[in-house]
């Protein structure tokens, strides 16, 4: 019997926010009754003056620019808006299939947005097997996927005795030419008992 154990989940962090640093703000010159003054308007983002507090969607998925005033200077902060996967943005609670037997769920945590990766079954020989069902394998074997507290468990067991590419189920007999064949279950597997019979 061969077994495979997979851990249930793994969290992948997604950076919540960074900053491109302080810079000179975009300003507007005003003339009030001959008195000239300068009014701070916002931040330069891609050559366009964006007002303070406005969030501008970034080309990178799940990120926005946030324009903030810092004294006499401006600061452009990058802020995450969800979990990014293959250039698409997912909101908290949404799920996506990453690969065979692996699912991602977007989580909104105190540290930011994170992907929680979970196994949804057993991966065996590059095939995903779900729980609660027997799967017929090659060479008189079957496999069962079981969910444990901390992962998934795939066990492979013999279901009979292999004979020339065929399977004689445990507890059954078969006549082959001059021999009587019987498949018996033993402690460590199966045993094919062969008894000579007359060939007449």
181 versus 56: the higher-pLDDT residue is: 181
Compute the distance between CA of residue 145 and CA of residue 148 in angstroms, rounded to an integer.
10
In Å, how far are 46, 52, 154 from 57, measured between CA atoms?
12, 15, 45
Q: How confident is the model at residue 15 (pLDDT cuts 50, 70, 90)?
A: very low
Q: Is the pLDDT of residue 10 over 60?
A: no
pLDDT for the residue 106: 94
Beta bridge partners of 36: 31
pTM listed for this prediction = 0.57
Residue identified by tokens 């013999």 is 158
Q: Is the pLDDT of residue 37 over 80?
A: no
60 versus 57: the higher-pLDDT residue is: 57
Collapsing DSSP to helix, strand or coil, 86 comes out as: coil
pLDDT for the residue 195: 85
């Amino acid at each position: 019997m061969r077994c495979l154990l997979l851990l249930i989940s793994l969290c992948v962090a997604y950076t919540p926010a960074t900053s491109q640093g302080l810079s000179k703000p975009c300003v507007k010159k005003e003339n009030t009754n001959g008195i000239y003054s300068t009014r701070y308007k916002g931040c330069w983002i891609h050559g366009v003056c964006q007002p303070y507090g406005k969030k501008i969607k970034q080309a990178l998925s799940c990120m926005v620019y946030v324009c903030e005033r810092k004294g006499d200077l401006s600061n452009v902060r990058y802020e995450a808006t969800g979990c990014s996967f293959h250039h698409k943005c997912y909101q908290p609670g949404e799920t996506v299939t990453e690969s065979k037997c692996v699912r991602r769920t977007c989580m909104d945590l105190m540290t930011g947005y994170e992907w929680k990766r979970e196994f949804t079954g057993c991966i065996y020989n590059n095939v995903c097997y779900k729980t609660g069902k027997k799967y017929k394998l090659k060479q008189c074997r079957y496999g069962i996927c079981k969910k444990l507290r901390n992962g998934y468990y795939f066990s492979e067991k013999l279901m009979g005795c292999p004979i020339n590419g065929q399977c004689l189920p445990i507890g059954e007999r078969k006549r082959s030419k001059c021999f009587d064949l019987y498949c018996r279950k033993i402690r460590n597997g199966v045993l094919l008992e062969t008894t000579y019979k007359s060939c007449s």
